[in-house]
Amino acid sequence: MKFLLKSASFLFHPIWIPLAGSSFYFLLAPRYFPVELIKAKLLAITILTVFIPIVFYFLLKNLGKVQSIFLENVTERKWPLAFFAILITMVLNQILDYYNYAALYYYFVGILFSTLLVFLLVFYHIKASLHTMAMSGLIVFLLGISLNFKINLTYTVSFLILALGLSASSRMYYRAHTYSDLFIGLVCGVVPQVLVLYFWM
């Protein structure tokens, strides 16, 4: 059980979630996208939301600004969250556009607002769970895809809800968060995604 909980913290880490949502979109959207286009978009999103944040993390770690990739200390979160918000803005400005990828575009808009919310909470010394924020946002996005495109995603959404519970349990087990942290993260993930549904559904 300990191994499972530890693995959940890494497998469902927030850094993977933008790429996961993008992959689901290109896999499920009932539109034709050239394979080369999909590869190019996913590669660009991977570079901006996975590779560059990891490099930035190691830079901050070497400078003594962060201690863990889970950013357990609330004061460590300012620079990573601010930098991640900039990267998400770059995705919106350079990689995606509303006309061709409306659902995915607004998914990233939701991610941006969620990131800014938890960033602002840092100044009030409130440590929202990034795991529950990211996973809950992805679940809302997939529910939107299911409803908008009339695709049955019951098993996928059920698995993600299970993954959300497992990652939340992991953060509690390792005493990285309190129940209120998990709930605040859930709200920060769900509310922005629910609000942007109006613009693409």
At 33 the pLDDT is: 93
3-state helix, strand, coil in the chain (%, to 5): 80, 0, 20
Question: Which amino acid, 178?
Answer: T
Nearest to 137 by CA among 105, 164, 155, 158: 164
Single pTM value for the model = 0.94
At 2 the pLDDT is: 67
Tokens found for residue 164: 């959300």
Determine the Cα angle at 82 with ends 77 and 83, to 5°: 105
At 69 the pLDDT is: 75
At 3 the pLDDT is: 66
Task: Tell me how crowded residue 34 is: count the other CB atoms within 10 A of its CB.
Answer: 8
- Using only C-alpha atoms, the chain has a radius of gyration, in whole angstroms, of 16
pLDDT in tens, the chain (201 residues): 666 767 777 888 899 999 999 999 999 999 899 999 999 999 999 999 999 999 999 999 898 888 877 777 888 899 999 999 999 999 999 999 999 999 999 999 999 999 999 999 999 999 999 999 999 999 999 999 999 999 999 999 999 999 999 999 888 877 778 899 999 999 999 999 999 999 998
Task: Give me the residue spans of the domains in the chain.
Answer: 2-200
Determine the Cα angle at 173 with ends 179 and 81, to 5°: 65
At 148 the pLDDT is: 94
Nearest to 25 by CA among 156, 188, 115: 156
At 5 the pLDDT is: 64
